[in-house]
């Protein structure tokens, strides 16, 4: 069995480097990924997907990426659950193993 995800999308906000309780660097980014088909109104819908990056990958993304940059990620899906008001809630997120910096929004606007 395989749990493998590839995504190409734009960063919704600037990454912020954080440190876990175990002293590991991490960052959480949200990717805006446009669907490849139009909805009933003739518009492309966009999915906003939460991605978690650890250690060196998190540090590099924090240093080199900004809101609007186009990136490609390779990772795996993870589903976590928690209790809130006696109700079980689920969160689906992508744990990123590799990231590729594809285009800078700033550079695209300059050309």
Q: C-alpha angle 46/69/26, rounded to 5°?
A: 95
H or E element, residue 110: helix 105-110
Residues of the chain below pLDDT 50: none
Contact 15, 62 (CB under 8 A): yes
Whole-prediction pTM value? 0.83
> Distance (Å, rounded) from C-alpha 67 to C-alpha 74?
19
CATH of domain 5-110: 2.40.50.140
pLDDT of residue 46: 96
> Distance (Å, rounded) from C-alpha 57 to C-alpha 29?
12
């Amino acid at each position: 069995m395989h749990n493998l995800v590839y995504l190409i999308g734009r960063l919704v906000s600037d990454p912020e480097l954080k440190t876990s309780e175990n002293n590991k660097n991490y960052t959480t980014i949200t990717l805006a990924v446009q669907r490849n088909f139009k909805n009933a109104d003739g518009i492309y819908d966009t999915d906003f997907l939460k991605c978690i990056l650890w250690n060196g990958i998190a540090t590099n993304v924090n240093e080199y990426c900004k809101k609007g940059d186009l990136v490609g990620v390779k990772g795996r899906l993870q589903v976590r659950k928690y209790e809130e008001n006696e109700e079980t809630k689920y969160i689906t997120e992508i744990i990123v193993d590799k990231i590729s910096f594809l285009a800078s929004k700033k550079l695209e606007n300059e050309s």
